[in-house]
Amino acid sequence: MGEVLALVEARLSSALGEPDARAAVTFLGTDRIEVLRFIDGDIVRYATLGMSAQPMNDPKDPLADPVKGPRAELVLSVRAGLADTDNVLRPLAVLASSPQVEGVIVAPGNSMDLGEPLWPQAPFSSVLVAESGGLVEDLELAEPMDPVRFLPLLPMTPNEAAWKRVHGAGELQERWLKHGTDLRDPLRRSVPLT
């Protein structure tokens, strides 16, 4: 477990630079989750560290493989200085612990809902999980382990989350693209949905 996390942290640092802050959260019955903060000009990025220590498995599977299975970490990028986004550390740790707590397999196209704002006065309480491989390349691990995928999180307003449930992730992403939505704006409004 420690070896995997050391490799994950090295990959994050090579892609995003050295973290300027880190916080750790431990929930009862789960492994520790850290959230690292990286500053890149006017963009602040938060990345989890610890979610990939164990593979994600179907909780209904009585013979879950302790080695094979998808592994991931979460990455959130927002514009700095517009909102108190540092309070996203605990919500991110909650999302990262969901595979251990709820047996959820986090994958691109999934919605993850916190039921509360991502940070104080945030217009978002849920996120859309995007495809990996862009900002931070997937990390190959020794066989038979699956690679670690660094999954970007795209904050969604409640209206966008409801629209996504009906129309799908691809349709919502197309709508964002069509309207030139700045998904890193921590104060943005919902994209037009009609």
pLDDT bracket for residue 1 (50, 70, 90)? low
* Cα 180 to Cα 182: distance, rounded to the nearest angstrom: 6
pLDDT, tens only, 18-53: 999 999 888 777 788 999 999 999 999 999 999 999
pLDDT at site 155: 98
| Model pLDDT for residues 58-86, shown as the tens digit of each residue | 766 777 777 888 999 999 999 999 999 99
Q: What is the pLDDT of residue 59?
A: 65
Give CA angle at 145 (76, 94), nearest 5°. Answer: 30
Query: For the segment 130-170, what is each residue's pLDDT rounded down to a tens digit?
Result: 999 889 999 999 999 999 999 999 999 999 999 999 999 99
Contact 34, 22 (CB under 8 A): yes
Q: 190 phi and psi, to 5 degrees?
A: -65, 145
Q: How many CB atoms are located within 10 Å of the residue 26 CB?
A: 13
Q: Does residue 2 surpass a pLDDT of 90?
A: no
For residue 128, the cross-strand partners are 111, 154
pLDDT digits (tens, 9 = 90+) for 86-130: 999 999 999 999 998 888 899 999 999 999 999 999 999 999 999
Percent of the chain with pLDDT over 70: 98
Coil, helix or strand for 47?
Answer: strand
Helix (H) or strand (E) holding 155: strand 148-156
